[in-house]
Amino acid sequence: MRGIQKEFGEQVELEWRSFLLRPYPSEKRDLEKFRRYTQSWLRPGSEQDGGSFRVWEGDASPPTHSMPPHLLAKAAASISDEAFERVHEQLLHAYFAESRDVSDPATLRAIWETAGLDPAEFERANDPALLRQVAEEHRAAIEAGVTGVPAVQLEGQDVVITGAHPRELYQRWARRALEGATHAERS
């Protein structure tokens, strides 16, 4: 999605919102089953601007739930857009490319510090207001019909594209929306 943002410049603005694939903690997940699931990551990783994806490696358990990394990203966003971008990239890389448990507090602290954020500010992720914000965004996503990630919805439209798709699909969709907005302005 960042490639689309770069391509279209100021015409397109991304607003990252929370959708929790695993909203509730689970004790232990079946590592082999999860490893097989992560093979599905290879297709989006092979696309242009697909990111770094690999099958889960090692003996580290997969994340127990999605809430902790979302809270960390929101805490970074409360500092600045740049802080959010750094933490978000670190979270994605840790999970998809390094097979790290992004629900683990030590992993999250390391990501925070690697992103260059003040260690004393790490506790922002425990702010109850952020928990409410993530829960509300998740609820709104479900109401909009989101069932997976990534999910893209253009402002003012009901349609949601869910799942990883080739960049061309997003380019076409953005162009059509921009052409429609330009046409509406002329009318």
Inter-residue contact 12 to 4 (CB < 8 Å): yes
Instruction: Tell me the helix, strand and coil percentages in the chain, rounded to 5.
Output: 55, 5, 40
What is the 8-class DSSP label of residue 33?
Answer: H
How wide is the angle at C-alpha 115 spanned by C-alphas 110 and 117, nearest 5°? Answer: 90
Query: Residue 168 has what DSSP assignment?
Result: H
The range of the structural domain enclosing residue 61 comes to: 2-186
Write the pLDDT tens digit of every residue in 107-163. Answer: 999 999 999 999 999 999 999 999 999 999 999 999 999 998 888 888 877 888 888
CATH of the domain at 18: 3.40.30.10
**pTM for this entry:** 0.84
**What percent of the chain has pLDDT above 90?**
49
Cα separation, 17 vs 15, in Å, equals 6
Report the alpha-carbon distance of residue 63 to residue 7 in Å, rounded.
33
| Domains identified in the chain, total number | 1
Q: What's the pLDDT tens digit per position in 10-47?
A: 888 888 899 999 999 987 778 888 888 887 776 665 56
